[in-house]
Amino acid sequence: MKLLFTFLLTVVSLSVYSQKIPDLKIVDQLDFEVIKKADSTDTIIKLDTIVPIDIKAENWDHTVYNPFKNEVVMFPLQLEFKDSTYASPISKNKVVTSRYGWRRGRGHKGIDIDLITGDSLFSMFDGIVRMSRYSRGHGKTVVVRHYNGLETVYAHLSAYGVKENDSVFKGQYLGKGGVSGNARGSHLHLVVNYKGIAINPEYLFEFNDSNSIRSNEIWVTQQWTRTYVHNSKRQSKIIPLLTEEDAITSLKKQKKIYVVKRGDTLSRISKRNNITIAAICKTNAINKNSVIKPGQKLVIEK
């Protein structure tokens, strides 16, 4: 009898609290925890409840590619992924034709993946479509904001498959690839941004059949956001930073950028920086007979 009375009292108590907390459903009392507050009131929370993140709360603007221009991002920063894989943005083998880095005197802030106009494109992760419209240079563009703070950008589309504010799941159809905007041949220009800052996608993801995320918790330094320390013709050497200590230590090993001056030659630059011509050529994907121009940036990696 005493046990029955205790059970009924518990159900009545939970019913009272459920009126105070909208949408709280009564289930097994073991699923709940009672939190004692300073004002002597109790709050009941469900132990396995994850508070949803409102990714539309700030800088949610459909009309601009980068709505984060007034944001200050501190490095190194940590990114977290709940999965070990991503959904491939295309349904065929991923052939990267141009990488993140310096290209034709400009920064290429993404990777180009080969496709045929009309090929379907898919969202790499769950998220919400922030932008689905024409963007200068990128042409027809879809931008998906994800729950870990990243945005993935799918550019040069030939057709849209989603609208702004649409919720999308991992692997959901976004549209068709093409050549819209400033594109030399049909391809997907894939960009990964964090608060408006582009990150080398190949630092975060392996673009092969495994569709692997390099780590569920990974630290990003500015080395992986600066295009001029990478070369679009080849993949950079990638060693994921898995702890904050690793990230801080890596800052001491940052590559040096040398800006070519009038009258410079590879021989003069090599002597000035105490490095071989061969090392300069290898790092910058040039040969010893390449013409260097004033203002050109060369990576010096010792």
Q: Is the pLDDT score of 186 beyond 60?
A: yes
C-alpha torsion sign, points 96, 78, 164, 128: positive
Nearest to 273 by CA among 289, 256, 285: 256
Using the predicted structure, report yes or no on whether residue 164 has a pLDDT greater than 90.
Answer: yes
> Would you state the pLDDT for residue 22?
39
Per-residue pLDDT at 254: 62
Where is average pLDDT lowest: 6-10, 87-91, 173-177, 283-287?
Answer: 6-10
- Quote the CA–CA distance of 216 and 32 in Å, as a whole number: 29
Residue-level pLDDT at 24: 35
Tokens linked to 60: 């949610």
- Interval 28-74: pLDDT, tens: 344 444 444 445 454 444 445 555 679 999 999 999 999 999 899 99
Q: Which domains can be identified in the chain, with CATH numbers?
A: 2-46 (no CATH), 77-253 (2.70.70.10), 256-300 (3.10.350.10)
232-278 pLDDT, tens digit each: 998 998 999 999 999 998 887 667 788 999 999 998 888 888 788 88
Percent of the chain whose predicted confidence (pLDDT) is above 70: 81
In this prediction, residues 118-130 reach a mean pLDDT of 98
Quote the DSSP letter at residue 255. P
Which residues does residue 219 pair with via DSSP β-bridges, in sequence order? 78, 241
Output the pLDDT for position 11: 41
- 280 burial (CB, 10 Å; 0-12 / 13-18 / 19+) is buried
Take residue 280 and report the two structure tokens written for it.
Answer: 């300069």
Residues paired with 129 in a beta bridge: 144
Question: By three-state DSSP, how is residue 54 classified?
Answer: coil
C-beta separation of 232 from 99 below 8 A: yes
Summarize pLDDT for 86-96 with one digit per residue, the tens: 999 999 999 99
Question: Is a pLDDT exceeding 60 seen at residue 4?
Answer: no
Higher pLDDT, 76 or 53: 76
- Mean pLDDT of the 189-204 span: 98
Buried b (16+ CB within 10 A) or exposed e, 104-134: eeeebbbbbbbbebebbbbbbbbbbbbbbee
